[in-house]
Structure 1
C-alpha cells in the first residue's frame, strides 16, 4: 500500500476583509507618497525641455508637448559653465575625503572607552551644536589663516561636523566588537593600524552615509562660496548658475517688446535647465550607495 506524499510549504493565512482594506490603505498611501516625491523632480525635467508657454498654460504635466533644447543650449553657451562644473566636482571630492578622514578618526577616538577625558570631550563636542560661532567670527578666523579666495576655503573650515562625529562614534561603539581589538593587540597590532586595516573596512555603511551627506552638502553649497570666494575661476556651479539667472533678470528688466518676451522665455527655460544639471549628478550617487545607506541610517535603532 503506497502512502501518498503530502506537499508541504508555507501556510498562508487567509486575510479578513478588514486586513485587506488596511493593506489597500497602506499601499495607496505609499504610492501617493512616492508620487509626491518623484513627480516634482519629473516635472522639473520635462519642463526644462518644454516651451515655457506650455508649462505656464498647464499643458505640460506628464510629457513635453514639444521638445525644446533652447534652455540647455543657452546655458552651455556660457564659457564658464564647464570650469565651474569642474570646480564643484573637485570641491565635492576633496571635501568629502577630508571630512571622512577627520570625522571618522574623531568618532573612532571618542568610541574608545579607555580614552582619557572622554566624557568631558563629549560635552565639548555637544556644546557647539547648540551655540554657533556665527558668520563674522568664522570669517575672521578664515581671514587670519589666509584661506580667503583659495581652493581650501571650501574644504578645510567646514570639514568637521559634530553630528557626523557623533554618528561615527555611535557606529564604532555598537558595531565593532571589543574582542576584535583585543585579538589585534595580542598579534601586536597598534591603534593606527587597527583603525585603517580593521575598523575602516568594516565601516562601509557609515562611510557611505557620512560621505553622501557631506557630498550633497558641498555640491549644493553656494552661500559659503558667495562669502569666501571672489575670483570667478574658483566659483562653483551653484554660484555661477545664480549669477547667470540674476544677469538674465537684469536684461529682462531693460528689454521691451518682442525682445523682452524672448528673454523671458529663455530665462524660464534656463531656470529649469539649471536645476536639472545641478541636481541630477548628485542624485546618481544614491543608487550605488543605497545598500550601505540603508544600513547606516539604522545605526542605534536596534538595541542588542
Structure 2
C-alpha cells in the first residue's frame, strides 16, 4: 500500500482528492462533503468525525495513523467484493472508479439503492447478509421490550431513579425502524424541515435497540423547554452508566441531543453492520 503525505486544513492537490473520495464513498458525506481536491472546513469536520468514530485523536489532521485507518476501511471492502465475485482489480485502499463500479454492481444484484456508496444497508448486505436478528425489518416501538435486554434494564433503572428524584419522565423513542431513520435523515436535506440527525437507517443506535429518548412530562405535556429537567436527567442517566446525548460535541456527532441515552457495549454502528454483536 502506498505511503501518503500528511494532510491538513487548506491543503490542496491529488492526495486531498483521494482522501475525499475515500471518505465520501465510505458514507462520510452527510455534511455536504464534495470531492474538490481542497481540504476545506467540511473535509476537516468529516475527518474529525471519522477519527472519533475510530477512536483516534480528533485533530482533523490526516497523518499516518488516520491514513492507515481510512485505507484499511477501503481495502476491507475491496477484498470482500473481490472474494464474492464483484471484481475490481488490485486492492489498493483507494476508492476509485473500479471500486465504485464494483459497489454499484453489488448494489444492483442485491436490490439496493445503486449509488456506489457503502451506505449502512450496503455494508450490512456485504458483511452480514444473513443476520441472526434482522433489525432492518423491525418496526418502530415505544416499548422498552424492543431494546436490548441490558439496555432495557438500564432504562428501567433510569426511570425509577428519575421518579425518586421528583422527575416525571416518559419514553418518547425506543427502537426506531431503519425506514423511519431514513425519513429523519432526509429532513433538511431532500425533504422539508431542519436537519435533525446525521444518521441514516442502520447508523443510529436506536436502530439496534441500544438507545432510547426520554423527556420530562409536566402538566399533561412533554416539557421540551425545561432545560433544567433535561440536565438533571443527564446526570442521573450517567450515574448508572448510560451515555447522554447532551454531552455530544460539534464533531463526532454534530447535533447535541438532550433526550437521548445509549449504551453501546463499546461497538460502533459500523461494527454492528459488519456483524459484531453486543456481549
Q: What TM bracket, shorter-length normalisation?
A: under 0.3
TM-score, structure 2 normalization? 0.27
Richer in helix (by share): 1
Determine which structure has greater relative contact order: mean sequence separation of CA pairs < 8 Å that are 6+ residues apart, divided by chain length.
Answer: 1
- Higher strand fraction: Structure 1 or Structure 2? 2
Which has the larger Rg? 1
- TM-score by length of structure 1 reads 0.26
